[in-house]
Structure 1
Amino acid sequence: MNRHCTKAELYRAICALRKRLNIPESDQPLDMISLCEALPNLALGFPPFKTPGLKGVSCLSTDGGPDIILLNGNLSWRENNFTCGHELIHVTLHRDGPAKSFNCFEKARPNQDRFLEWQANEGAAELLLPARVLLPLVRERYPALHTWKDYLRFKGELAENFRITEAVVTFRFESLKYEITQYLSGIPYEEVRILSSAKQRESGLHIKSLNDLEAECLAQESDRLRRIHRRMLDFHSIDIAYDRR
């Protein structure tokens, strides 16, 4: 795959990968671990990694043997489900590059190719929670999102329904903020412009994500509670004399 592909091109590559793996877009939630275990020429293991922050490893075969994906046996099934998708992107879309092994850390390391890691993260998110599926769910729920608890509850339901972590849902809300904004304005999905955060910045676009709106609701609620608390303190600071008349 082109190392410098756009986000739209990456999504098309993920769509092609779904077809190659015979996974309909409507087939949700995805069990990436079972799917990878069933793939020929791919070996999957779950060693308990001791390296801090290491979540997964993938190695491309150079001798005709199977490719290898290793997932951290210390992590939860849902965390490994996403990491498995991440490593699958490496072994399927990054075969033509010079790298023959990839290490997935909680945070990217200086020696990692950040663009390939972005492709793997964004690609895994599109596999597990496709934009075409998520955007209608957001539009349906959006009128009921009034408080930070509403947003939090919505994230939890998406995580449960798609068998991913809430961190992945949060990542998806951030990654798709421009697309979500377009869709909520009434633009059909087929006409939604798919644009990465970097390209949005280059175009001078500054879009609030659902995460930003959640944070604003929380700040407003916290400010309201602080004002109530201050009024209570002010009340208790008044010395009310007992009226004996």
Structure 2
Amino acid sequence: MNTKYWNKATLYRYVDALRKGICNSPNFSPVDSQKLAKRCIKNLTIEKIPFLNSDICGILYKGNHTTSIALNAKRSPEMQNFDCMHELIHYFFHDIEYCQRICSDKTEATICQDAYIEWQANEGAAQFLMPYQDFIPRFLPLIAQSFPCTSFQTVDDLAQFYRVTPAVIEVRINQLSYEIDQYRQGQSLEQIQLLSKKKREQQGIKVTPYLALLDFALDSFFESVV
């Protein structure tokens, strides 16, 4: 599949179609990516290997007859859930030549990677595990309900629900900051414009910083109870 010119909206559309096609769970139920992989991919082997450090997330080998995914045994189950989904995005959308590379957390790693392909795998995994159609309307009420606690409680609650780490949730909030702003301003989920951070910067679009979202959510909460 040629994904060379996919933007965020196109990527999400294909990921949504994939999720609908291979998930047996209703609506946007949380996903166990390893169980999903074993159910959907023939001749698949998933191994947990203690790599030299925890920065290496996983390896995908997509052959003509067999597929192998190696996950880092030094990373938590929640990390591995995202890592495996990252590899599954590679598997379903990218050609074999891109599916035999080591994927790392850090862009400064010396391993040769295609930054655009890795962005698609990360963003695609986030949309598969935490679809914006479910994440945004779930996030705003939760952050209001967490008052008078900090927003960390909301992050932890979302992480537990989606089976990922709090760090992944924080990244997701920032990824969707423009879309969250639109939803807060009254746009329906169907009308929200999806733009990547790069595109927003190119168009000079400013978004609400992550921490400021707490204030907006609490303001909305207080208005609803007055």
Q: Fold-level match, TM-score > 0.5?
A: yes
The correspondence of residues 179-218 of structure 1 with structure 2, limited to 5 A, is 179-211=179-211, 213=213
Q: Distance in 2 between matches of 1:138 and 1:100?
A: 33
- Deviation of 1:7 (Å): 0.1
- Deviation of 1:26 (Å): 1.9
Equivalent residue letter for 2:134: V
Q: Distance in 2 between matches of 1:7 and 1:88?
A: 18
Q: Distance in 2 between matches of 1:185 and 1:34?
A: 38
Show the counterpart of 2:113.
112
- Deviation of 1:22 (Å): 3.4
Moved more, 83-92 or 40-49: 40-49
Compared CA separation, residues 24 and 191, structure 1 to 2 (3 A): farther
Equivalent residue letter for 2:85: G
1:63-91 CA-to-partner distances (Å, cap 9, x unmatched) read x3211111011211111000000000111
SS class of match (1:112): coil
Compared CA separation, residues 212 and 87, structure 1 to 2 (3 A): farther
Moved more, 103-112 or 124-133: 103-112
State whether residues 90 and 98 of structure 2, in contact with CA within 8 Å, keep that contact through their aligned partners in structure 1.
Answer: no
- Deviation of 1:13 (Å): 1.0
Q: Distance in 2 between matches of 1:176 and 1:68?
A: 32
SS class of match (1:46): strand
Mapped pair 1:102 → 2:104: no
SS class of match (2:98): coil
Q: Distance in 2 between matches of 1:168 and 1:60?
A: 26
Question: Which consecutive unaligned segments of at least 5 residues does structure 1 have?
Answer: 216-245
CA RMSD between the two structures? 2.1
Mapped pair 1:45 → 2:85: no
Number of positions where the alignment pairs a residue of Structure 1 with one of Structure 2: 211
Mapped pair 1:3 → 2:4: yes
SS class of match (2:101): strand
Identity %: 31
1:35-89 CA-to-partner distances (Å, cap 9, x unmatched) read 112232322111111256211001110xx32111110112111110000000001
Q: Distance in 2 between matches of 1:132 and 1:169?
A: 15
State whether residues 174 and 211 of structure 1, in contact with CA within 8 Å, keep that contact through their aligned partners in structure 2.
Answer: no
Show the counterpart of 2:13.
12
- Deviation of 1:151 (Å): 1.1
Q: Distance in 1 between matches of 2:211 and 2:66?
A: 40
State whether residues 144 and 214 of structure 2, in contact with CA within 8 Å, keep that contact through their aligned partners in structure 1.
Answer: no
Q: Distance in 2 between matches of 1:106 and 1:12?
A: 25
Higher-Rg member (1/2)? 1
The correspondence of residues 143-158 of structure 1 with structure 2, limited to 5 A, is 143-144=144-145, 149-158=149-158
Compared CA separation, residues 145 and 206, structure 1 to 2 (3 A): farther
Compared CA separation, residues 121 and 29, structure 1 to 2 (3 A): same
Equivalent residue letter for 1:44: I
Question: Which consecutive unaligned segments of at least 5 residues does structure 2 have?
Answer: 216-226
SS class of match (1:37): helix
Show the counterpart of 1:243.
none
Compared CA separation, residues 114 and 74, structure 1 to 2 (3 A): same
State whether residues 54 and 72 of structure 2, in contact with CA within 8 Å, keep that contact through their aligned partners in structure 1.
Answer: no
State whether residues 25 and 130 of structure 1, in contact with CA within 8 Å, keep that contact through their aligned partners in structure 2.
Answer: no
Q: Distance in 1 between matches of 2:61 and 2:13?
A: 24
The correspondence of residues 1-245 of structure 1 with structure 2, limited to 5 A, is 1-24=2-25, 26-39=27-40, 40-51=42-53, 53-61=55-63, 64-95=64-95, 98-108=97-107, 109=109, 111-144=112-145, 149-211=149-211, 213=213
1:184-207 CA-to-partner distances (Å, cap 9, x unmatched) read 111100000000001101111111
State whether residues 143 and 214 of structure 2, in contact with CA within 8 Å, keep that contact through their aligned partners in structure 1.
Answer: no
State whether residues 58 and 103 of structure 1, in contact with CA within 8 Å, keep that contact through their aligned partners in structure 2.
Answer: yes
